Amino acid sequence: MEAVLSSYLAHLAVERGLAANTLASYRRDLRRYVEHLRTRGRVTFGEVGEADVLAFLTVLREGDGDHPALVASSAARAVSAVRGLHRFALREGVAAHDPAHEVRPPRQLRRLPKAIGVAEVERLIAASGPDGAPLTLRNRALLELLYGTGARISEAVGLALDDLEQEQVRLRGKGGRTRVVPVGRFARQALDAYLVRARPSLLAHGRGTPAVFLNARGGRLTRQGAWEVLQAAAERAGLEGISPHVLRHSFATHLLDGGADVRVVQELLGHASVTTTQVYTLVTVDKLREVYAAAHPRARQ
């Protein structure tokens, strides 16, 4: 089973082009699955039955001595990985049947994305740090870019200088997909200030890197480092529950509030399907109801 698993992970990396983070999640989930099969006495994938797969789903949702119970979204990801592994085993002739074919991932509760108001975004960005300091200029540019483009945190820290153009930026998203996103005036000004007045001094501490966002040692800023920048600014601004995805949600929601077409927002966010983007429209419908209730003369009758 280990050999089949290694082949499948290689297939995902080379032929499917899965992102490194996604691949790491699949590897973790599937190694746990293989260990689960061993405890049930299965030596090959040809011996696995639907009951084994269903038992794994139960363990995911209830937890065991070594692992806590997973929420529906995490369990769904693991089940999807298992289904893909069994399809691969069937296609490669390692197994004569697919025991996971009828096993469906657990249904997830549909949650509305959290978005903060424009005034709160401005408070957050204003709390980047002491005025004029190199790291403050970097922090402000990072926050302006996250909100101004809807970039994921991994896309922002993965930026290279060649990805920046006069009024747009090239972002590399999930599955290796690349998209070009316009950069607004505030984000451009913050980036220019950082690149001219701060980045050279930070770069002098390192060995030279094309990364846009640098840490204090002159190396590429990590996802964890960018997360800490955001959390520190949120604490100074007195805001709670702020994450990179909150800025991304706010970017999308504010665009839709301003009249942007949902398919345009889909392209800007890098969503493969417009149905992923349409969840944001639920937020703006709520706002429309509020405006209607407050403004229409017959709304409260």
Q: Is 171 helix (H, G, I), strand (E, B) or coil?
A: strand
Q: Among all residues, which ones are annotated catalytic?
A: 152, 174, 245, 248, 271, 280
Q: How far apart are CA 251 and CA 117, in angstroms?
A: 10
- CB half-sphere exposure, 185, CA atoms < 13 A: 0
CA distance 284 to 254: 9
- Short-list 119, 122, 139, 276, CA closest to 213: 139
| Cα–Cα distance, 255 to 158 (Å, whole number) | 24
d(CA 17, CA 11): 8
In sequence order, which ranges of the chain are alpha helices (DSSP H)?
Answer: 2-14, 20-39, 50-62, 72-91, 118-126, 134-149, 153-157, 185-197, 199-203, 223-237, 244-257, 262-269, 274-277, 279-295
